[in-house]
Amino acid sequence: MKVQWAVWLCFVFSVTASAETFFVKPTSGLFAEISVESTDSDIHSIKVRVRSEINATGSYSLVVIQESNASSETLFSWQGLVTPEWSVLFSDDRFLSNDSTIKATLSVNQEGNTFSRTVTWQPQVSITPKSLMTSQPRAGEHVIRLELP
């Protein structure tokens, strides 16, 4: 018999959406695209891109932070020149807490004028606690009880 076990951990949750994307658009012609793909129960592959639809010139800055009740963490912070092509800034795995909020602020400076916009986004996760089996506390042991899925 091949048994695949699921672990009981108090913060286990599952992600219902496999991939999501949200945009920040401070002014016409410039976008930041942040796509989030779940690769694990709470590991998300995050890809950040910036794109100018028109041949605008100027500079931009992009800050993406993760906020939760406990903390605020800057996930990315970038500055660069506006280009007409998609520019992939970042692609990496991050752990997103189920109670976190993602805030992305894209600012663009064009001919001395600054446009800035912040977009708030929450990971589309649903918390599905596993049916818990109470572990017997034992002196000197850290017991993790597994269960059938």
Partner 1 sequence: MKVAQRGFYLFLMSVLLSACFPVSEKNTDDDTTQQKPAAQQVDISGVIQYQDRLYNQLGFINNNAVYKTLRNVSIALAQTDGEEIEQSLTNAVGAFSFSDVPVGDYLLRIKAQSTVTNGTQIQVFDTSSDLYVIEVPLTISEEQVDFEIDLTAQQRVGGIFNMLDVFYSAIKFVDDVSSGTVSVDDLAVFWQWGDSNGSYTCRADNISCQQGIYVLSDPYFSGDTDEYDDDVLLHEFAHHMESSLFLFDSPGGAHTLHSTALDLRLSWSEGMASAFGASVKHWLRQNDPGRLSIPNYVGLDLADYYIDTRGSSVNVAIDLQSASASTYHYSTNEVAVASSMLSLQSLTDIPTLWRSYWSALTVNSTADTLESFWDGFVGLNAPAPSDLSDWQSTLASRDILYQLDSLETNQSIASARTIDDTIHSLYRNHYTTDVDWHKVDVTSGITYQFETHTLRNGADTMLELYRADETLLASNDDAFDCELEPSGCSPLHDGANFSSLIEYTAGATETLYLKVQTVSAVYDDPTSYGYIGRYGTYQIQVMELP
Q: Which of 35, 41, 61, 101 binds partner 1 (CB under 8 A)?
A: 41
Does position 142 interact with partner 1 (CB under 8 A)? The reply is: yes
Q: Give CA–CA dist 106/25, Å, rounded.
A: 7
Among 5, 16, 19, 127, binds partner 1 (CB under 8 A): 5
For partner 1, which residue of 38, 52, 97, 105 counts as binding (CB under 8 A)?
97
| Min separation Cβ 12 and partner 1, Å | 9
Sequential DSSP letters for 66-94: EE-SS-EEEEEEEEEE--SS-EEEEEEEE
Cβ at position 9, least distance to partner 1 in Å: 7
- Cα 91 to Cα 100: distance, rounded to the nearest angstrom: 19
Helix (H) or strand (E) holding 38, with range, is strand 30-38
Query: Does 4 contact partner 1 by CB under 8 A?
Result: yes
User: Is residue 138 a contact point for partner 1 (CB under 8 A)?
Assistant: yes
C-beta separation of 68 from 30 below 8 A = no
Q: Is residue 54 at the binding interface for partner 1, with CB under 8 A as the rule?
A: no
122 is a site residue for partner 1 (CB under 8 A): no
Among 27, 35, 45, 114, the residue binding partner 1 under the rule CB under 8 A is 45
Token pair recorded at residue 54: 């028109």
**What residues between 57 and 76 interact with partner 1 by CB under 8 A?**
73
Dist CA 136 CA 143 (whole Å): 8
Please report where in the chains the tokens 């605008």 appear, as a residue.
56
Which residues neighbour 96 within 8 Å (Cβ) at sequence distance 6 or greater? Answer: 36, 42, 44, 66, 102, 123, 125
127 makes contact with partner 1 (CB under 8 A):
no
Q: Where along the sequence are the contacts to partner 1 (CB under 8 A)?
A: 1-7, 9, 39-41, 43, 45, 73, 91-95, 97, 133, 135-136, 138, 140-148
